[in-house]
Amino acid sequence: MANTNIGYSELDSFIQDVEQIVQSGGIEEVLISKIKTRMQQLLKSEKVLPDQYMQPQPTSALYPLHVAQDESFSIAVTVFNVGQPSPMHDHGTWGVIGVVKGVEHEIKYARPSRENEPLTVVQDRYIREGEVGICCSSEQDLHQVECASPMPCVGIHVYGANIGKIERHMYNPQTGAKKVGITPWVPVPDSNSTL
């Protein structure tokens, strides 16, 4: 689906390293920790992403950076414009995020013990430019994010599946009611276009 060779040596190396980490298998917690460490190294690069991956859209953008052939993992670039939120959602897999630009405000919720139960906040945090966080795991997989900076928030997200294809759930925070949905990949804008 997406390039395995982006043309940015640090980014290309990161993609190859994540592939090796995922292919080596092992306990989810260890795998996530290794990807988090490698993401921290990537974010120290002077220019992490090509400009076309940093363009906001009318709704939050989910650009495919790389999807493994066997769909065992994917690397996405998400862009939230100023004040733009995501729906409250789960992922159905593990995930690691690194903020390339701006600030992401994340609110994590406890998974309801039964259907149609109001959601409870378990963590409210800000992830700033250059910081890396674990957005989801088998034990904690429900959150909402939004751009909390005066410029668009751009993040690199690594997931343990093809995140632009798998069925996930969107939640109503007051009632806990959920519906199944897919957050599809957004085509990467042409490198010469601006929005």
Pick the range with the lowest mean pLDDT from 65-74, 93-102, 143-152, 181-190.
Answer: 181-190
Which DSSP symbol is given to 96? E
Pick the range with the lowest mean pLDDT from 7-11, 80-84, 118-122.
Answer: 7-11
Please report the pLDDT score of residue 192 as a whole number: 57
Number of domains in the chain: 1
In a domain, 51, yes or no: yes
Domain with 56, as residue range(s), is: 9-181
Q: Phi first, then psi: what are they for 102, rounded to 5°?
A: 85, -160
Segment 104-121 shows an average pLDDT of: 86
Spatial separation of the C-alpha atoms in residues 2 and 132, rounded to whole Å: 23
Segment 147-160 shows an average pLDDT of: 97
In a domain, 53, yes or no: yes
Residue 155 pLDDT more than 70?
Answer: yes
Please report the pLDDT score of residue 138 as a whole number: 85
Task: Convert the pLDDT of each residue in 162-173 to its tens digit.
Answer: 999 999 999 987
Strand 88-90 and strand 168-171: pairing? antiparallel
Residue 6 pLDDT more than 80?
Answer: no
Q: pTM for this structure?
A: 0.91
In a domain, 34, yes or no: yes
Please report the pLDDT score of residue 194 as a whole number: 44
Residue 48 pLDDT more than 80?
Answer: yes
Neighbours of 90 (CB within 10 A): 17
Segment 98-121 shows an average pLDDT of: 89
CATH number at residue 142: 2.60.120.10
In a domain, 88, yes or no: yes
In a domain, 82, yes or no: yes
In a domain, 192, yes or no: no
Please report the pLDDT score of residue 114 as a whole number: 78
Please report the pLDDT score of residue 195 as a whole number: 40
Segment 39-46 shows an average pLDDT of: 94
